Amino acid sequence: MRIGFAQINTTVGDIRANRDRILSAYEKAVSSGAELVLTPELALTGYPPQDLVFKSRFVPETLESLEQLREAVGSVPLLVGYVDFSPRETGKPFVNACGVLAKNQPVQKIFKTLLPTYDVFDEARYFDPAPDQSPIELLGTKVGITICEDIWTDKYLDRNLYYQDPVSVLIAKGARLILNLSSSPYSVGKPALRRKMVSERAIFFGVPFYYCNAVGGNDELIFDGNSFAIDASGGTLFRMSGFREEVGVAESSAAPFLSDELSPEHEVYEALILGVRDYFSKCGFKSAVLGLSGGIDSAVTAAIAVAALGKENVAGVSMPSHYSSQGSLADAAILAKNLGIARHVIPIKEPFEVLKNQFKEIFAGKSEDTTEENMQSRLRGLILMSMSNKFGHLLLTTGNKSELAVGYCTIYGDMCGGLAVISDVPKTMIYRLANWINRKTEVIPRNSITKPPSAELKPDQKDQDTLPPYEVLDEILKMYVEDHLSPEEIAERGFDPETVRWIQRKIDMNEYKRRQAAPGLRVTSMAFGIGWRMPIAQRYLR
């Protein structure tokens, strides 16, 4: 059997364009000898459509495009993910569906059974689950069709979420292979985890699995592709590339091969490039502007922006203050030269003095503190937003996850922007990314990587004067935010209790800042923003 994979990059709500993309990929797969073609979950609508499904014409237009696809396909079946109305009178109004399309045949409909409502997922808000599962006859074989979560097991979800296992039901009813339409968002290590899980399931049931995943960025979520086919003994028959569109054909008679993995740094780099590129293209932006401080965070963000958008579409702005070192200005200049981007220098020394003078009487008797530090950051935000307005650039923020977690950032200052590129990347990973970017030649100045990080908003300022060492901060941050451990449980693992409690309080107290932050690209298992639902006004401290 030859199964075609349409690993395509669809745009949420662009139903007609998605329809055309599906048809083009289908024709390409058929011309390559596919006997059946898979698309990702909700390929026709894009994933996740969220509350667009409630718009009066959204589902009817989806069904019109599905019918147009049915009329266009030939004898080779096409499996399309889409949103349909629920056939039941009670329950949620819609279903997450797969339509099996073939020439002169009515649409066969399969509905998703397991509807995730955790982390970034909210499917039970919209969809009703399938009442049962049964295989269908395709190419002379009983085939079990599943949609994304339907093949996941509690072992890999780290919780007992579901009362049934659709794959077990399909196998019990005679399915001899399992097809899966998926839109599984990326996080570090997720591609390898999916293949490991499916391989174990293939061995357990003794049947092959064909898994077609979405690719592309939709708001904060990044879909990595990495579609694959696993034979009945758990071997990888076929694997598609990560982070780009592809159309391919998997042969059931092919010999298994060893599938290489990208390093975590390489994965995150490719994910962020895809996330930036798609956020720009799908939102209608052409160019970016960002502040260049000479530090590592802005350097990594600039390198990613250039890789995603091209050097001609990225502008950097250096905004020196009284406290900016000549070394930082030189590092920013070298970075801009290495990347080939335009760099503007707009000092904030005079505006800062003017602004302070405006408060001379009101602040009389008060010593300078974080108020004056934040004034400088907000002046820089004003400058960058002015550049954005005047030239139509989208402003990229350059704060990392470690800083955002503990509020080491200025609301309406360095948090200004339309996309937070590295807001889900811990500082320790920022260093790894910088070194990976420099693996062949020095793009990011070595000094930007090795010098102690500083906001340079007061004399001799260093991040570590305020924050714990980033190696400690990031470990505690992961345990508290991603693993949901209490401060006591974290301290039991060998961390200083006072440090743990300080970090926990800072994370909790700064939720109000993060609620007002720009959308951030998700690359870890728990990002601030989508999937993170903490109250601002709360007093739970454990």
List the beta bridge partners of residue 182: 213
Active site residue 337: no
List the beta bridge partners of residue 248: 5
Closest CA to 31 of 68, 81, 74: 74
Closest CA to 197 of 221, 216, 178: 178
In contact, 233 and 203? CB cutoff 8 Å: yes
Closest CA to 437 of 222, 266, 294: 266
CA pair distance 478, 474, nearest whole angstrom: 6
CA-CA-CA-CA dihedral for 290, 296, 300, 301, to nearest 10: -20
Judged on CB neighbours under 10 Å (0-12, 13-18, 19+), 343 is: middle
Active-site residue among 35, 41, 373, 456?
41
User: What would the DSSP string read from start to end of 50-86?
Assistant: GGGGGSTTHHHHHHHHHHHHHHH--SS-EEEEEEEE-
Active site residue 148: yes
CA pair distance 483, 461, nearest whole angstrom: 32
Closest CA to 291 of 326, 336, 339, 355: 336
First to last CA, the chain: 55
Q: DSSP label at 284? A: T
397, HSE (Cβ side, Cα atoms, 13 Å): 32
Which residue shows structure tokens 């200052």? 413
In contact, 320 and 348? CB cutoff 8 Å: yes
Q: DSSP label at 495? A: -
Active-site residue among 35, 98, 123, 148?
148
Which residues, including other chains, have CB under 8 Å from residue 279's CB and lie 6 or more apart?
217, 219, 285, 419, 519, 521
- Alpha-carbon Rg for the chain, nearest whole angstrom, is 25
Active site residue 442: no
CA pair distance 341, 166, nearest whole angstrom: 52
Q: Hey, what amino acid is at 446? A: R
CA pair distance 414, 241, nearest whole angstrom: 36
What residues are annotated to the active site? 41, 112, 148
